[in-house]
Amino acid sequence: AAMISIKDYPPATAPGLLDNLLRLPHEMVVTQSFGFVDRTAALGRMNLALRRMRATDDDALSLRQDLVQAKDNVAAGRSGFGEHHLSVQVRVPGLPALDRAVADVLSSFTDLGLIAVREDVAMEPIFWAQFPGNFKDIARRSLLSTGNFAAFASLHNFPTGRAHGNHWGDAITVLETTSGTPYHFNFHHGDLGNFTVIGPSGSGKTVVMTFLLAQASKLAPRTVYFDKDRGAEIFVRATGGRYEVLRPGQPTGFNPLALPDSPGNRRFLVEWVERLLTSDAPLDATDREIVAQAVDANFDQPPELRRLRWFRELLAGANRPAAGDLAHRLGAWTDSGERGWLFDNPVDSLDLAEASIGFDMTQILDDPTSRTPVMMYLFHRVEERLDGTPTIIVVDEGWKALDDDVFVARIKDWEKTIRKRGGIVGFATQNARDAIDSKIGPAIIEQAATQIFMPNPKAQASDYRDGFGLSAHELDLVRSLPDTSHCFLVKHGNDSVIARLDLTGLDRILAVLSGRESTVRILDTLRAQLGDDPADWLEPLLAAVTGTPRA
């Protein structure tokens, strides 16, 4: 260890004076004391300093003026003075590392205009001066105003998050900040746990999201991941989950008409069928009545007849088919239509019993006609599963996935309902403007307890400040963070902190957390050869991706 003390003070101070010192990546103990000096004694010492300056014809006019002003402030009671001392004990393992740490501390003080010294002869008394009441051991003290002392003793600190007593118990994980301090990350602020992740392609969004999901696994939550470009497929499958890729022309196994009979399912099916039919033209009151009657009739059918091809006949009733009628409009969604692969399946094979399940939405993300009914159905099924067990729903490119008038009215209700039943929803996007312009953007931003912003040198003030409420300083941080810094901005409640997730050298872990086109192709090949059990394909995959077998 080494002891460092301040020998001379800067000409001016400012709030947060020691922030850069506290950001140094070294263990240290910073000790300060401030003992008030009687007003008469303080004025006497300042008068003595002024007389000495006049006697020596000191040309430092500004310093003389400052002393005169300080005298006036003390005499008027606007300010006080006291004897101040500050020491830093630096502790690191090994002498070479100690010398480097001391040099960093001295350099930090020099940048602030202070002159600091590494103590040698006076090291022992300065060490004991760290303890309360040992004023006799203070070797270096200076007269300081209360205003200047306030700059040394800022009452703020670096955010540390909340380690215990959160809505889901202990913190989800501990992240390192750029100040070298721990930040206890939580999704929840109070009972609100929804979150957003904003960052351009390649900024590390998927790594951050899957890392947080992996850390949350200690809670044994249910996880539903609406994915894009199969980025999270390896993670979902490697953690024992089920993953479905929605491909045009390949039956999904979805059949909402096979839902069990309940008032909630009947209401949902009416809304869902109406959505299928309004893709061509709006419905009038008569049409809506026909749909409601057809839904009721559907539940009277045997299971094998509860699918869209037969539901079309319920819509037609006794009428002859005509172009533009309800039965005709539904034709595109039956097995002979262009979208029949989505819902016209003999049985409903959608199974949400797995603790973790993912859906790749890439192929339908840019097709709102298909996308909206799919998201309506999947969210309805997810809601049915909510029973108070912690549940995390992640929607990559969520603003696009739910960008429809049908979701605007229900998004706030969804998030409140999901919250009360133990769930949280996370939305991610590459483009902040997409989120802001989305029909559901304002509702999602308002309901987000945690916001994560990845580095983006092209971040626009109109998007990040006006849309997401970042301060000018926070926007500067998002813009200035290097792509290779492994850092991101976390806004949680009143906390605003730059966190670092550096997994450099952990290639095997990175290969699981974030899939690329090449690694997903390897996954497809291995699963075709070895089956779906990750115990069979994970090690061969990691060996192929990283080039190194497990040690």
For residue 535, what pLDDT is reported?
95
Percent of the residues in the chain that have a pLDDT greater than 90, as a whole number: 66
Map out the domains of the chain as residue ranges. Answer: 2-152, 192-251+350-504, 253-348, 516-546
- d(CA 277, CA 281) in angstroms, rounded, equals 7
Q: How confident is the model at residue 488 (pLDDT cuts 50, 70, 90)?
A: very high
- d(CA 305, CA 301) in angstroms, rounded, equals 6
CATH number, span 192-251+350-504: 3.40.50.300
Estimate to the nearest angstrom the gap between the alpha carbon of 339 and the chain centroid: 36
Residue ranges of the alpha helices (H) in 278-426? Answer: 285-298, 308-316, 326-330, 340-343, 368-385, 398-401, 405-420
- Over 90: is that where the pLDDT of 439 sits? no
Q: What is the pLDDT of residues 215-249, one digit of tens each?
A: 999 999 999 999 999 999 999 999 999 999 999 99
Beta bridge partners of 169: 166
Q: How confident is the model at residue 265 (pLDDT cuts 50, 70, 90)?
A: very high
- d(CA 88, CA 4) in angstroms, rounded, equals 5
Q: Residue 51 has which token pair?
A: 């007389």
- d(CA 534, CA 23) in angstroms, rounded, equals 42
Is the pTM higher than 0.85? The answer reads no
Q: How confident is the model at residue 460 (pLDDT cuts 50, 70, 90)?
A: very high
The residue ranking higher by pLDDT, 404 or 327, is: 327
Mean pLDDT in residue range 498-510: 94
Question: Tell me, what DSSP letter sits at residue 466?
Answer: T
CA nearest neighbour of 390 among 355, 357, 358: 355
Tell me the C-alpha to C-alpha distance, in Å, between residue 197 and each of 124, 166, 206: 51, 21, 9
Q: Which amino acid, 6?
A: I
- Over 80: is that where the pLDDT of 322 sits? no
Mean pLDDT in residue range 93-106: 92
Percent of the residues in the chain that have a pLDDT greater than 70, as a whole number: 97
